[in-house]
Structure 1
Amino acid sequence: MATSVRDANGNDINGGGQFGWFLKIGATPEAVAVLNDQPYLFTILLVVLVLVALQITLHWYIHYATMKPEQKKKKKKDDKKAAPGGKPPAQR
């Protein structure tokens, strides 16, 4: 039996309301009821996720910018392995 979940105003939210699409991605009806009643929580969630991503990017940049030259990977050239003709053995 499906139970009817209502928000603080007494509205049935089984249809979803503003955040009904969360039901399709696995949210519980109670969670959708909370988001429909207090939509600023969703905004806070998005702001926190963006700030965490920016902080991770800043930390990575500081790490990269302060590395010593000997810690950075150097590109290796394979000139020693190249044949005098310049072609790989399969094309000779």
Structure 2
Amino acid sequence: MQQPQIELANEIERNLFERHGPMIADDALLQALGYCSVDAFRQAFTRGTLPIPVFAIKHRRGKYALVKDVAQWIAEQRFLATTTNAVKPDAGCQ
């Protein structure tokens, strides 16, 4: 990771940590990863195509991820978007 990307990841991590603590779950996780619905998230989880490690916790509902992993992934996506010329069409949330 380059320094600007690291700084952005750290800033995002601080903001997410203030809101969610060290882990993020449920709707906040779906929204942070850009999934339109619980079904889309569930399908990606089942297929093993989620962009970060997501895990279950014994005796708790839902799926969880570390705020640090989410922040790094978001910063990486931002960096990729600003360093490549190609914009890929996206179906978007409907």
Q: TM-score, normalised by structure 1?
A: 0.31
**Larger Cα-atom Rg:** 1
Higher strand share: 2
> TM-score w.r.t. structure 2 length?
0.30
Between Structure 1 and Structure 2, which shows a larger proportion of helix residues?
2
